[in-house]
C-alpha cells in the first residue's frame, strides 16, 4: 500500500505541525479547515518554523521551498477524498470527529486509510461509524509535532495488518519512532501523563504548594523539562479536562476524577497559552502565576 498524498483535517497547532513534517518528508499534503484565516495562519506558522530550521542548518533554503510547495489548502472537506491517507486533527470532541468522517465517506476512494490524531477517544468506536473499520487507526502525534519524536499507533478492534503496516512505514519515513498502544482510554502517553497533571492541580487546589513551587519541584526534583502546570497550559486546559473525563468515564475509577479546580479554570475560559491565561498569565512580557 503506497502512501504519497496525505489529507489533514484541521490546521490548528497539531494540524499544521503534522502538515510540516509530512511535507518535509516528501509527501504531498492537502490541509483543510472551515476558516480561511486559520489556514493562512497555519501556512505562516509552518513557514516560520521551517525558517527556524534553515537558520539552524537543519534544512537548506531549497528544501524549505520544496516543502512549502508540497502543502496545499482547501476549505472544502470533501476535496480530501482522493488522498491515500487522511489524518483527522480536529478538536478533541467525539461528535465533531464522527461528523467529519461521516461527511468524508461518500467521497473516499476504496483504498483510503482513515486515521485520527485523537489523544484519548476510542478508535474502535470512531471506526465503527465508518464504512472501513479495517482501514481505520489512531495516529497520535505529540506536541509540538516537528520536535517530538514519538507517534502512538492505535489499532481498533477491526484494524487489519495491512493498514497497520502502512501507517508504521509512514512513521519510519517521517524519521519518527512509533509505539503501539491497545485501544484503551487515553492510550499510553496520556494514560500516564494526564493523571500526573491532574494530581499537580489537586496539589494546588489543596494548598500543598503554589503554582511556582509545584512546577519548580518537578523540574528540579524529577528533572522534567517543564513543570506539570506549565505543561498543562501548553497543552490546553480544555484538552487536559477532556482527556481526564475520557479516563474517568471509560475506566470508572475515582482516581481519574478531574480536579474541580481544573474544571473551574476551563469554565472561566482560562485555557492556558492559547487564551493568554491559565495557571500562568501570559499577557505580559513574562508569565506570572495566577495562584
- List per-residue pLDDT tens for the chain, 291 residues long: 689 999 999 999 999 999 999 999 999 999 999 999 999 999 999 999 999 999 999 999 999 999 999 999 999 999 999 999 999 999 889 999 999 999 999 999 999 999 999 998 999 999 999 999 999 999 999 999 999 999 999 999 999 999 999 999 999 999 999 999 999 999 999 999 999 999 999 999 999 999 999 999 999 999 999 999 999 999 999 999 999 999 999 999 999 999 999 999 999 999 999 999 999 999 999 999 999
Residue 150 to residue 147: CA distance in whole angstroms: 9
Which among 122, 190, 198, 230 is annotated as catalytic?
190
At residue 209's C-alpha, the angle toward residues 206 and 215, to 5°, is: 125
Residue 279 to residue 108: CA distance in whole angstroms: 43
Active site residue 20: no
pLDDT score recorded for residue 2: 87
Which among 88, 92, 152, 230 is annotated as catalytic?
152
Residue 21 to residue 6: CA distance in whole angstroms: 11
Q: How far is CA 205 from CA 43, 123, 202, 253, 264, in A?
A: 39, 33, 5, 20, 11
Which among 16, 49, 117, 119 is annotated as catalytic?
119
Q: Is the peptide bond before 215 cis (omega within 30 degrees of 0)?
A: no
Nine-digit cell string for 8: 489533514
Residue 2's nearest CA partner among 101, 108, 114, 83 is: 83
Active site residue 248: no
Main-chain dihedrals φ then ψ at residue 283, nearest 5 degrees: -80, -15
Which among 140, 181, 198, 230 is annotated as catalytic?
140
Q: Domains in the chain and their CATH numbers?
A: 5-181 (3.40.50.720), 191-281 (1.10.1040.10)
Locate all alpha helices (DSSP H) within 70-160, ordered by sequence. 94-104, 123-128
Residue 33's nearest CA partner among 17, 13, 9, 15 is: 9
Q: How many other CB atoms sit within 10 Å of the CB of residue 90? A: 21
Whether the predicted model's global pTM rises above the 0.75 cut: yes
Amino acid at each position: 500500500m503506497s502512501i504519497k498524498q496525505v489529507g489533514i483535517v484541521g490546521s490548528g497547532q497539531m494540524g499544521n505541525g503534522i502538515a510540516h513534517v509530512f511535507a518535509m518528508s516528501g509527501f504531498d499534503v492537502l490541509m483543510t479547515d472551515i476558516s480561511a484565516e486559520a489556514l493562512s495562519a497555519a501556512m505562516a506558522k509552518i513557514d516560520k518554523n521551517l525558517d527556524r530550521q534553515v537558520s539552524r542548518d537543519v534544512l537548506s533554503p531549497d528544501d524549505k521551498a520544496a516543502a512549502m510547495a508540497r502543502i496545499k489548502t482547501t476549505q472544502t472537506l470533501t476535496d480530501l477524498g482522493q488522498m491515500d491517507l487522511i489524518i483527522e486533527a480536529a478538536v478533541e470532541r467525539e461528535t465533531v470527529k464522527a461528523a467529519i468522517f461521516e461527511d468524508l465517506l461518500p467521497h473516499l476512494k476504496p483504498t483510503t486509510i482513515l486515521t485520527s490524531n485523537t489523544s484519548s477517544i476510542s478508535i474502535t468506536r470512531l471506526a465503527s461509524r465508518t464504512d472501513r473499520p479495517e482501514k481505520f487507526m489512531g495516529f497520535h502525534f505529540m506536541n509540538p509535532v516537528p520536535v517530538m519524536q514519538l507517534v502512538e499507533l492505535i489499532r481498533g478492534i477491526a484494524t487489519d495488518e495491512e493498514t497497520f503496516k502502512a501507517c508504521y512505514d509512514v512513521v519510519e519515513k517521517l524519521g519518527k519512532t512509533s509505539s503501539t498502544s491497545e485501544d484503551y482510554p487515553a492510550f499510553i502517553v496520556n494514560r500516564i501523563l494526564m493523571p500526573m497533571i491532574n494530581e499537580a492541580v489537586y496539589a494546588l487546589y489543596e494548598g500543598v504548594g503554589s503554582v511556582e513551587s509545584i512546577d519548580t519541584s518537578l523540574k528540579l526534583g524529577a528533572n522534567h523539562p517543564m513543570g506539570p502546570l506549565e505543561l498543562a497550559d501548553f497543552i490546553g486546559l480544555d484538552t487536559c479536562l477532556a482527556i481526564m473525563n475520557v479516563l474517568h468515564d471509560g475506566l470508572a475509577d475515582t482516581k481519574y476524577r478531574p480536579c474541580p479546580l481544573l474544571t473551574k479554570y476551563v469554565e472561566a475560559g482560562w485555557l492556558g497559552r492559547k487564551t493568554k491565561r491559565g495557571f500562568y498569565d501570559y499577557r505580559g512580557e513574562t508569565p506570572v502565576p495566577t495562584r
